[in-house]
A = this chain, B = another copy of it.
Amino acid sequence: MNKIRIGIVGYGNLGRGVEAAVGRQPDMELIGVFSRRSGLTTNSGVATYTMDQLADFQGKIDVMVLCGGSATDLIEQTPEVVKYFNVIDSFDTHARIPEHFDNVKKAALASGKAGLISCGWDPGMFSLQRVYGESVLPHGESYTFWGRGVSQGHSDAIRRIKGVVDARQYTVPKKEIIDAIRNGETPEVTATSSHDRECYVVVEDGADKAAIEKEIKTMPNYFEGYHTTVNFISQEELDANHKGIPHGGFVIRSGETTEGTKHIYEFSLQLDSNPEFTGSVLTAFARGLYRLASHGGRGAFTVFDIPPAWLSPKTEEELRAHYL
Contact = CB atoms under 8 A, between A and B. Distances in A.
Given A125-B132, A307-B306, A308-B128, A324 B267 contact: no
Interface in A239-275: 248, 257-258, 261-273
A98 B317 contact: yes
A208 interface: no
Most chain B CB within a 10 A radius of its CB, from A138, A139, A264, A279? A138
Given A94-B324, A98-B321, A131-B323, A269 B258 contact: no
Interface stretch (A106-114, A226-234, A297-305): A297-305
Interface string A305-324: 11111011100110111011
Interface stretch (A19-27, A77-85, A164-172): A19-27
A319 B303 CA distance: 11
Given A20-B257, A261-B272, A138 B25 contact: yes
Contacts of A268: 264, 266-267
Interface size class of A (residues with CB under 8 A): 35 or more
A6 to B, nearest CB: 14
Contacts of A323: 127, 130-131, 134, 304
A257 B281 contact: no
B324 A302 contact: yes
B279 A270 contact: no
A307 B309 contact: no
Given A135-B287, A304-B309, 19 more contacts: A17-B257, A118-B324, A123-B324, A125-B132, A127-B324, A132-B308, A135-B284, A136-B283, A136-B311, A182-B270, A257-B273, A257-B279, A261-B272, A263-B271, A263-B280, A264-B269, A267-B267, A303-B324, A304-B323
A101 interface: yes
B319 A131 contact: yes
A196 interface: no
Contacts of A89: none
A263 B257 contact: no
Contacts of A101: 320
A293 B17 CA distance: 38
Nearest to A94: B324
Contact of A139 (B24, B94, B97, B261): B24
Contacts of A258: 20, 273, 276
B263 A311 contact: no
A54 interface: no
A200 interface: no
Interface in A59-103: 94, 97-98, 101
